[in-house]
Structure 1
Amino acid sequence: MRESEFFAARADAAQAEADTAVLDNVRERSLRAQQAWNTMAQRSLRSEGARDAREAASASAQAAAADSSRPDFMLGVGDPAA
């Protein structure tokens, strides 16, 4: 489970608690908690997106570096028997 999924689940739980609250102060507290959890989920989604993009770029760069270090005949450029 990603961090953003955990935060979103907590926001849903806080909303459910607010929906069933009898006392106004409990409802207000739960709604404040929901807002806080939603804010954390949004921030986490941005961080996860940036992390995924960095990891993809790094993997692509590593693959390109690995390809450039191979001899031409391993890349299919030229004939090793010639």
Structure 2
Amino acid sequence: MSTESELCRARAAQARAEADAATLENVRERCLRAEAAWIAMAERGEHADTMRANLAAAKQG
């Protein structure tokens, strides 16, 4: 896993913690949307890393 993916996952966890601590519904919803966005970014980055590794392996063999 890349450092960028780890950062995104950490930010997602932070957004979830903020959502759990929120007392206002709109703040909670905003934090949950942020969590979903960070998770999506992490997944896209991980997919790109996998594709890049597969391409490099195909070029070698």
Of Structure 1 and Structure 2, the greater helix share is in 2
Q: Deviations over 1:25-77 (max 9, x none)?
A: 1101000000111111111110010112223333x25xxxxxxxxxxxxxxxx
Moved over 4 A (4+): none
Alignment coverage as a number of residue pairs: 60
The unaligned stretches of length 5 or more in structure 1 are 62-82
- C-alpha distance in 2, partners of 1:18/1:5? 20
Q: Relative contact order, CA 8 A, sep 6+: which one is greater?
A: 2
TM-score when normalising by structure 2: 0.84
- C-alpha distance in 1, partners of 2:49/2:23? 37
SS in 2 for 1:22: coil
Indicate the structure (1 or 2) with the bigger Cα radius of gyration.
Answer: 1
TM-score when normalising by structure 1: 0.65
- Pairs within 5 Å for 1:1-82: 2-58=3-59, 60-61=60-61
Shift of 1:9: 0.9
Shift of 1:5: 1.2
The unaligned stretches of length 5 or more in structure 2 are none
Q: 1:80 is matched with which residue?
A: none
Aligned residues: CA RMSD: 1.4
Shift of 1:23: 1.0
Kindly, what percent of the aligned residue pairs are identical?
48
